[in-house]
Structure 1
Amino acid sequence: MSDALRVCFITKMYPPRTGGGATYAYELANALGELGHEVDVYTQSVPGEDDDVSTHPNVTVTRITKARPLVVFSTLYFSIACRFRIDFDEYDVIHGTLMPASTIALGPRLLDEADAPLVLTSHGTSYDEARSVDPQSPPDYLFKYVFHPINVALDAVAGRFADHIIGVSDHTREQLRDLYRFDPDDLTTVPPGIDADRFRPTDEVHPAVDTDRESILVLSRLDPRKGIDKAIRAFAQLEREDAELLIAGTGRLEESLRELAAELGVSDDVRFLGFVEDEELPELYSSVDLFMLPSEYEGFGIVFMEAMACETPVIGTEVGGVPTAVDDGETGYLVPKDGIRELAARMDELLGEPGEYERMADESRTWAINHDWTAIAERVGRVYAESR
């Protein structure tokens, strides 16, 4: 392609680490490489994990530090290492793919050592994330009242020195504009993409799914912010004798969630699948009838896109960036954050109306195809061009 750029990616989150931030950096780097750009990714290694991650020939991955248990020190160490290991003058664009953790890219800018424009991606503001946490333990209090105020301050600093900020949802872009008073001309919404070739409907049935029952899937860390307790409470109100709730993921809430299911009398119909490998996900999404995640907050919610790409309608909450990911009434439904009754009603509606279900399944697949990573990389490339 013409105007191919040398792009410097800085991110703590990259495979084999999991999560939306890691997926975003990996898929975007490969898609930019496919478009002809040269992308150098600077990230961390993960002790005990295989760091040999396949990439596009135009993508080079350099792991300059190891991830460490204490996130503050890990970030600081990574920041210092980036400062001394990267020659920023070699690049046409510097892209911190996870704001504010990628604000270490600011170092050369503050010291006037780099002429390349700085682009940051915000997956959701720290302000929103802190507000969504209801402290239940000492780590929660530390997370909400120590780490997040620091991140809010870093968000503010980052925005002042960035040439452009990409918000993964309209909500995030509006928060950056209204709360941080960033220049609207320097803000653009570009959602994450989806690998529609990988995430597609399949006739193969995942071994965890009973095809004789109506299966509803929740896929998430078992974390208070994800609202999995509300999923169980809503499922308990569902008057469908042949339905089951599958909860895929691990986390510190598993025991309390099992106790809640028993207390509500649905423990026989709620199954905990534990961690599901990435390669199993398309088959799992395709095998279930419905996906839901009633989060307290999501910067975007890539899991919704993955399910929709497999022609599985979704239900999410009207929070954060979820309305950008879910087209209410077309690819699924949105319900109020605390709307347990509404959540149960929407589950019953989708499972009980085959015609509406099939329409939404078709719309979901079409939506995903229109948001493949190539299209998203082209939009990010335009942001790069406008920032230079």
Structure 2
Amino acid sequence: MKILQSVHSFPPSSGGIEHHVYHLSRELHALGNEVVVITTRDEGTAGEEDFNGVKVKRFFSIDFPIFSSARLPLFAFFAMLRENPDVYASHGYGSIMPFFASIAALLNRKPFVFTLHGYPEVKGAKRVFYYFYKFFIASIFLRIAKKVIVVSKASIPIISKECDPKKIIYVPNGIEDVFDCNLDYEKKNKITYVGRLDEDKGVDVLIRAFAKIKKYFPELELQLVGKDEGIKGKLEALANSLNIKPYFMEVPYHQMPEVYCESKAIVLPSKYEGFSLVWLEAIASGRPMFSTPVGEAPYLFEQAYGEKKERFLFKNEDELVVKLLRFLKSQKTFKKTIEKAKYIAKEEYSWGNVARLTENVYLLVAKK
């Protein structure tokens, strides 16, 4: 089966959707499928290349400073038409790629499958773009889609308002085996954030919380790992006003396992998520994962941490301070919980399993 995956960005660019599509495509190829990825072209990347058997075709785009996925690669649409695969697939609400892929599928009379990675919660001026996208772009590709895959069960009630609920299928994210550290977090001194630096990630909450925690544990360091989406200067000013000096880093994805292994704890204070790969990567690495209860977090944390999940979920800055301090003051008592969670993540969320479930969806729509 020939599968076309379209996505607004692809590795070496870093991000949850980017790495989802990379790992999924690689595993689908391993299952015997021909996979072509159509994406945008970043500086320093080739127009065409082969990623372990997966063909990647990149196109220059017009980028808009609204969302990281708001990129317009006009020639990508014509490439999708020419490829004429058995199944068209696309990823990410807020991107133009699902619209392009769905129209190409319609014109070539082939099935289209959309994957929702998270539903944006927007405020202010961004709402104008959001409503335009919802009513004039998403409404079209969701109508054309034969199936809508969601990586988060929490997204189902929301997206059900925009498409036929019978189309929706849940397939979670996956995790690589390389995320595997010794349970030696007690010896580390870094509190780490992993993700884009943008307003929706709530990094300011972590900075303010860390400033309070450092008064009790002055040896701790704050590490912010991710691509700047325009707010780094604002975060630096906030940190300076609180007399702390976080380390800002952009790290190639293949070095991310080391980032986790050198951390004491990982914090994700996002305002919204679908199913963040950071959760799985941190848990599988044997590191305590603290997060806001957004998207799939409540379900995943209950599965991983059981009745102790509330130790790792926080709703605001004050709760984060309380829960991090509790962990820092009694780290040994967390070890069995973290070790069990690590085993569960590795057993339940392999990319091989995710690819097989996704392939079944593609086969289902291809036969109709």
Do Structure 1 and Structure 2 share a fold, with TM-score over 0.5?
Answer: yes
Cα distance in 2 between the residues matched to 1:41 and 1:311: 32
Q: Residue 171 of structure 2 aligns to which amino acid in structure 1?
A: V
Alpha-carbon displacement from aligned partner over 1:269-304 (angstroms, at most 9, x marks no partner): x42232122222111101111000111112221112
Cα distance in 1 between the residues matched to 2:291 and 2:104: 40
Q: Residue 270 of structure 2 aligns to which amino acid in structure 1?
A: S
Superposition pairs of residues 155-234 of structure 1, within 5 angstroms = 155-177=138-160, 179-180=161-162, 182-196=163-177, 198-201=178-181, 214-234=189-209
Superposition pairs of residues 224-373 of structure 1, within 5 angstroms = 224-238=199-213, 239-251=216-228, 252-265=230-243, 267=244, 270-327=245-302, 329-330=305-306, 333-336=312-315, 339-369=316-346, 370-373=348-351
Q: Residue 154 of structure 2 aligns to which amino acid in structure 1?
A: H
Change beyond 3 A, Cα 1:276–1:166? same
Bigger drift between 231-240 and 42-51 goes to: 42-51
SS at 1:312's partner residue?
coil
Superposition pairs of residues 73-84 of structure 1, within 5 angstroms = 74-75=71-72, 77-78=74-75, 80-82=77-79, 84=81
Change beyond 3 A, Cα 1:50–1:92? closer
Deviation at 1:51?
A: 6.0
Cα distance in 2 between the residues matched to 1:73 and 1:291: 28
Change beyond 3 A, Cα 1:98–1:200? same
User: Equivalent residue for 2:14?
Assistant: 18
Among candidates 50, 55, 70, match of residue 51 of structure 2 = 55
Q: Residue 24 of structure 1 aligns to which amino acid in structure 2?
A: H
User: Equivalent residue for 2:113?
Assistant: 119
Q: Residue 77 of structure 1 aligns to which amino acid in structure 2?
A: L
Q: Residue 201 of structure 1 aligns to which amino acid in structure 2?
A: C
Alpha-carbon displacement from aligned partner over 1:55-83 (angstroms, at most 9, x marks no partner): 233x22233x2233348995261454235
Deviation at 1:249?
A: 2.9
Superposition pairs of residues 34-183 of structure 1, within 5 angstroms = 34-50=30-46, 55-57=51-53, 59-63=54-58, 65-70=59-64, 74-75=71-72, 77-78=74-75, 80-82=77-79, 84-86=81-83, 88=84, 91-99=85-93, 100-101=95-96, 102-111=98-107, 113-114=108-109, 116-125=110-119, 128-130=120-122, 133=123, 135=124, 141=125, 144-153=126-135, 154-177=137-160, 179-180=161-162, 182-183=163-164
Alpha-carbon displacement from aligned partner over 1:328-347 (angstroms, at most 9, x marks no partner): 744771111xx211111111
Cα distance in 1 between the residues matched to 2:4 and 2:340: 36
Change beyond 3 A, Cα 1:78–1:168? farther
Alpha-carbon displacement from aligned partner over 1:252-273 (angstroms, at most 9, x marks no partner): 32233233223334x1xx4223
User: Equivalent residue for 2:2?
Assistant: 6
SS at 2:352's partner residue?
helix
SS at 1:296's partner residue?
coil
Unaligned runs of 5+ in 2: none
The alignment's TM-score, normalised by the length of structure 1, stands at 0.81
The alignment's TM-score, normalised by the length of structure 2, stands at 0.85
Cα distance in 2 between the residues matched to 1:284 and 1:322: 21
Deviation at 1:124?
A: 1.8
Task: State whether residues 282 and 310 of structure 1, in contact with CA within 8 Å, keep that contact through their aligned partners in structure 2.
Answer: yes
Deviation at 1:156?
A: 2.0
SS at 1:216's partner residue?
strand
Change beyond 3 A, Cα 1:51–1:80? closer
Cα distance in 2 between the residues matched to 1:73 and 1:318: 26
Unaligned runs of 5+ in 1: 136-140
Deviation at 1:201?
A: 1.1
SS at 2:121's partner residue?
helix
Change beyond 3 A, Cα 1:258–1:108? closer
SS at 1:195's partner residue?
coil
Task: State whether residues 305 and 338 of structure 2, in contact with CA within 8 Å, keep that contact through their aligned partners in structure 1.
Answer: no
User: Equivalent residue for 1:28?
Assistant: 24
Change beyond 3 A, Cα 1:166–1:78? farther
Task: State whether residues 82 and 104 of structure 1, in contact with CA within 8 Å, keep that contact through their aligned partners in structure 2.
Answer: no
Bigger drift between 74-83 and 145-154 goes to: 74-83
SS at 2:267's partner residue?
strand
Task: State whether residues 199 and 309 of structure 1, in contact with CA within 8 Å, keep that contact through their aligned partners in structure 2.
Answer: yes
Deviation at 1:24?
A: 1.3
Change beyond 3 A, Cα 1:364–1:67? farther
Residues matched between the structures, number = 352
Change beyond 3 A, Cα 1:291–1:53? farther
SS at 2:312's partner residue?
strand
